Amino acid sequence: MEAAKKQSVTNQLLAVKSASGKTFSQLAAETGLTNVYVAQLLRRQAQLKPDTVPKLKEALPALTDELIGDMMSPPWRSYDPNLIQEPTIYRLNEAVMHFGESIKEIINEDFGDGIIWLLLFVVAWWWFSKGQSDLLYV
C-alpha cells in the first residue's frame, strides 16, 4: 500500500514540475537547493523541511498543501530492482562496485563510520573537454 501511495504522490509532484516547464537545475537556482536534492524531494526520496516550503512553493506555485504535507512526511526509501537495467544507473552502479572498497576505506579514514557519513551525502559533477573526448567527473 505504501509503495502505491508513494508512486501516486511522485507522479503528481513530477506533473507539477513538468507543467512548470522548469528543470531541476532551474528549480535549484530559484530555491537555493541543489538540483539533486530538488529531484529527491519531487521523487519522495528526501523529506521536505519546514524552512524549505516557502522557497519551493514560490518556485512551484501549483504545489498543493496536500502535496506539501506528503513531502514533509518521512519518505519511504526503496528502489525498483529493475532500475539497474537503465544504462546510466547501471554504469554508475558499476563504477561504485568497481571502486567501492577503495572509496569506503578513504571515507572511513577521513570521516569515520561510512554509514553515518553517507547520511550527509552530496552529489556533484564536473564536465571537462580533454582533446577529442569529454569526461564527466562524479
Q: What is the DSSP letter of 126?
A: E
Instruction: List the chain pLDDT tens, one digit each, 138 residues.
Output: 477 888 899 999 999 999 999 999 999 999 999 888 999 999 998 999 999 999 999 999 999 999 999 999 998 777 778 888 888 888 888 888 887 777 777 777 777 775 655 555 666 666 666 666 666 666
Residue recorded with cell 547501471 = 90
Neighbours of 56 (CB within 10 A): 21
Q: What are phi and psi of 7, to 5 degrees?
A: -65, -40
**Dist. CA 127–CA 72, nearest whole Å:** 33
Place of cell 528502489: 79
Q: Which residues 6+ apart lie within 8 Å of 104 measured at CB?
A: 114
pTM of the model: 0.71
Q: Structural domains in the chain?
A: 2-72 (1.10.260), 81-137 (no CATH)
